């Protein structure tokens, strides 16, 4: 494994995280007729992947987990999706948390790009030495 | 061969390159729960190398866990400010070593060309 693999996998992992946050935001406010069907926010969890031979550590997405939060029950008998009691269940998405998640992900992605750029520059300089 | 031409700079460049990889690993794992940031104590690594260890051995004996300024709840000890400054410092050191080597090469090629 080299530095480029490390950066590439880290950026892919951040992309998964950003996509999950985007999916959660997209589903904010979506309603269903039963508690079980309601959308549960997704959250990827990262794990370290150490390459023993080089000592470099990259990232892998260990899994994408669904939040355990209970959907919000709302009385809305006029809604065509409402159940027998006139309740609908709203996806328990915390928009603020998702925005923070997205910002943090973007920042970490940016940092990785910057580090990669510097490393690439130095490698090119080393190669161009006559 | 390279040892006699470049002196300490050959080992220094290799250590700088390894340290760059390690700090990039830290930056990559900024969002990994429980990840412990590591760094190479460059001075210690260079001393170990001068004591006879090869660069890989010197780098691994001088690898230390980073002590976080403020530990985070998920056990991750990567602090972006620390990693960025360490990366920048290391990049400058790498550049400096590279110019030393380049100077050595220029000297030698000028001696060989004779102009």
Q: What is the pLDDT of residues A1-57, one digit of tens each?
A: 899 999 999 999 999 999 999 999 999 989 998 888 899 999 999 999 999 888 899
CB nearest A59 (choices: B29, B88, B101)? B29
pLDDT value of residue B2: 63
Burial of A125 (0-12, 13-18, 19+ CB in 10 A): middle
ipTM for this prediction: 0.84
- State the best of B15, B28, B63, B72 to mutate against chain A, taking most chain A CBs within 10 Å: B28
Q: How many CB atoms lie within 10 A of CB A77?
A: 10
Q: Return the percentage of chain A with pLDDT > 70, whole number.
A: 99
Tell me the three state secondary structure of residue A72. Answer: strand
B18/A3 CB distance under 8 A? no
Average of pLDDT values for A104-117? 95
A129/B22 CB distance under 8 A? no
Q: Are B11 and B49 in contact (CB under 8 A)?
A: yes
Residue B20 touches chain A, beta carbons under 8 Å:
yes
Q: Which chain A residues are Cβ-neighbours of B79 within 8 angstroms? A: none
Residue A103 has pLDDT above 70, yes or no: yes
CB nearest A129 (choices: B28, B63, B102)? B102
Cα–Cα distance for residue pair B46/B20, rounded to 1 Å: 15
Tens-place pLDDT, residues B40-51: 999 999 999 999
Average of pLDDT values for B5-12? 90
Q: Which of A55, A47, A37, A52 is nearest to B29 (CA)?
A: A47
The pTM (predicted TM-score) of the whole model is: 0.88
Tens-place pLDDT, residues B58-81: 999 999 999 999 989 999 999 999
């Amino acid at each position: 494994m080299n530095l480029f693999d490390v950066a590439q996998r880290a950026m892919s992992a951040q992309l998964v995280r950003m996509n999950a946050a985007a999916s959660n935001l997209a589903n904010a406010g979506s309603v269903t007729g039963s508690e079980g069907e309601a959308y549960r926010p997704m959250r990827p969890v990262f794990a370290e992947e150490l390459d023993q031979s080089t000592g470099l550590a990259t990232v892998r997405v260990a899994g994408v987990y669904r939040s355990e939060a209970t959907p919000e029950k709302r009385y809305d008998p006029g809604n065509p999706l409402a159940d027998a009691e006139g309740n609908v269940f709203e996806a328990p998405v915390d928009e603020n948390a998702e925005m923070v998640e997205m910002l943090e992900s973007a920042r970490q992605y940016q940092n990785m790009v910057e580090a990669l750029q510097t490393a690439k520059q130095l490698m090119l300089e080393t190669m161009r030495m006559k | 061969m390279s040892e006699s031409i470049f002196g300490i700079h050959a080992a220094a460049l290799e250590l700088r390159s390894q340290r760059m990889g390690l700090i990039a690993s830290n930056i990559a794992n900024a969002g990994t729960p429980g990840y412990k940031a590591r760094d190479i104590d460059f001075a210690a690594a260079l001393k170990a190398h001068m004591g006879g260890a090869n660069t890989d051995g010197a780098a691994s004996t001088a690898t230390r866990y980073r002590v976080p300024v403020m530990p985070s709840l998920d056990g991750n000890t990567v602090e972006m400010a620390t990693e960025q400054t360490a990366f920048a410092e290391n990049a400058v050191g790498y550049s400096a070593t590279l110019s030393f080597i380049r100077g050595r090469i220029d000297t030698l090629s000028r001696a060989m060309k004779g102009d």
